[in-house]
Amino acid sequence: MLSKCFKDSGFEHLAVDHKSNRFHSYVTVCNVDLSTDHGWAFMFHIIEHYDVRFVHAAPPCGTCSKAREIPLGPGGGPQPLRSMEHPLGLPHLEGKDLERVRSANAIYDGLTKFLTECTARGIPWSVENPTSSYLWMIPCFVDLMANTPCRFYNYDTCAWGSTRKLKRSFLSTMPEMTGIEATCPGNHEHAPFGRTRQPDGTFKYATSDEAAYTKQLCLQLVSVVQNALNLFPQKIEADHHSVAINHKGMIALQKQPAGRRMPPLISEFAAFSTVVASSMPATNPKGCLTACFQHVPEGSKLLSFSKRGEGETSFVLKFGIYRSPIQWVEKSLMLQHPFDNFHAVPDQMLDVLFYILTTAPADVCKFRISKLKLWMKWAEELDTREKEHKQRLDPEVGRVLASKRLLLLRKIADSLDWPDTHLFDEIDEGFKLIGIQDPSNIFGLEPRPPQSSEGELWANAKFIRPALIGKVKIQILMPRASLYGMLQWKRQTTIIG
């Protein structure tokens, strides 16, 4: 729900989840096993190479819950797994319980290291858990609180639209998070706690409904983050820097991305307006004003609202103002067709096109000859070193690359300021087939989590290898089918080309 609210506000988001989450998801979720080192390596890769503005974490609280200590009568409820003296897990734990606590501890450990790195990079963050959770007493969290400028922001879940009253807390480095602090207004009934028997005979505990956030809380959180960082992507119109909202999450799932890759050519709203009011205005089911409110015209969309501060009764309301039909037509007539505005053509190519179109053919020819002459001179100068370099390579690699002038290629690339600076080392040493790739600076970044670490791959090699060889053998047995497939593919690509 939180990711969906950020997405609806026009943010690019990456929703990361642990493999087995019982909640239905509203957005594309990237599954990463955060109890492993390689799972966290992927997360560090994301904050290193992407423009991350905010991180929110809701670590699993099942093993930390004090709800486990509420006596539930005969038959008993789940037993506590931690205590004040043993926040990392009670000493007598064994079997499944021990495994769960260990896995949760590994997640907490990775998360605190990750948030420390976020702080060092100036990325604000928040972590959510019940106020009474043992999570906050675990040594790695105690260290995190001591070493980063964060504090607690508490709220009652019912104040944000939940049917039950639970005290929950955000630990955050963002001072504006005070906007989520709220206490029960005391004017409503609360749904009971406890457990209910499910049709299949298992018990369902009231707290298991409460882990997800209400829409009200999510909208408030989006509004807090937007105002704190002064980021309003709702204003964005198509330009070549912003591609894909859901696109990246789909790639992480190894699915073909569908839907629009570019933001709309005309933004949804013509303008935004913020007003302070003592009461909420009347809106229709779509959240649009049914009448003019202060200076905001009828039909404008209420995007967010928040109390002005603790103990205040007035609200800060934010509206998006739509264009009139005439304004819409006027704006659309001024648009350029996306194919005409060169957004897909790289700068270097535009430079070359300009040079060729504005220079006499003879001069272009002379320029090309001089470049080739220079490169041939470099090739001659590098000849001896080139041979020595080949001898240093792995013999198999050296054999394949025997006819290639690797040093010359590197020198030419340097002279052109070629952005992929790792390429030549990778040619020499071999390309990594698994793990996280460093960015090439040529191709766009795609957050694709590795499915296993190098260690796991070797451990599983025993099973993967025969399966792969089996697959290849089947293809050898059916040469006609695959040849036909290849021809089909070639035909299709030729048509596209």
The residues of the shown chain that bind Zn ion, judged by CB under 5 A, are 158, 165, 184
- Residue 125 vs 155, nearer CB to Zn ion: 155
Cα-trace Rg, the chain: 29
Closer to Zn ion by CB, 138 or 158: give it: 158
269: nearest Cα among 294, 293, 234, 245 = 234
Task: Tell me how far, at minimum, the Cβ of 166 lies from Zn ion, in Å.
Answer: 10
Q: How far apart are CA 376 and CA 135, in angstroms?
A: 65
Q: What are phi and psi of 44, to 5 degrees?
A: -65, -40
Closer Cβ to Zn ion, 71 or 185, answer by number: 185
At 331, phi and psi to the nearest 5? -65, -45
**Nearest distance from C-beta of residue 205 to Zn ion, angstroms:** 20
CB 345 within 8 A of CB 293: no
Contact 386, 407 (CB under 8 A): yes
Closer to Zn ion at the Cβ: 123 or 184?
184
Least separation in angstroms between residue 167's CB and Zn ion is: 11
Minimum distance, C-beta of residue 188 to Zn ion, in the bound complex (Å): 6
Nearer Cβ to Zn ion, position 56 or 165? 165
User: Residue 70 or residue 184: which is nearer to Zn ion going by CB?
Assistant: 184
DSSP alpha helix (H) spans, 168-267: 215-229, 247-252
Whole-number minimum distance, CB 184 to Zn ion, in Å?
3
> What are residue 55's phi and psi, to 5 degrees?
-125, 130
Rounded to whole angstroms, how far apart are CA atoms 9 and 423? 38
User: Is the Cβ of residue 193 or residue 232 nearer to Zn ion in the bound state?
Assistant: 193
| Least distance in angstroms from the C-beta of 57 to Zn ion | 26
Compute the least distance from the CB of residue 213 to Zn ion, in Å. Answer: 16
DSSP states along 289-352 = BSS-BTTBPTT-EEEEEEESSTT---EEEEEEEPPPHHHHHHHHHTPPPGGGTTTTS-HHHHHH
Q: Which amino acid is at 307?
A: K
What's the CA gap between 71 and 360, in Å, rounded? 89
Given the complex with Zn ion, which of 313 and 493 has the nearer CB atom? 313
CB of 153 vs Zn ion, minimal distance in Å: 18
Toward Zn ion, which CB reaches closer, 88 or 184? 184
CA 298 to each of CA 234, 284, 329: distance values in angstroms, whole numbers, following the listed order: 19, 11, 20
- Cα distances from 30 to residues 18, 54, 172, 452, in angstroms, run 9, 17, 24, 14
The enclosing H or E element of 204 equals strand 203-205
Shortest Å distance, C-beta 183 to Zn ion: 8
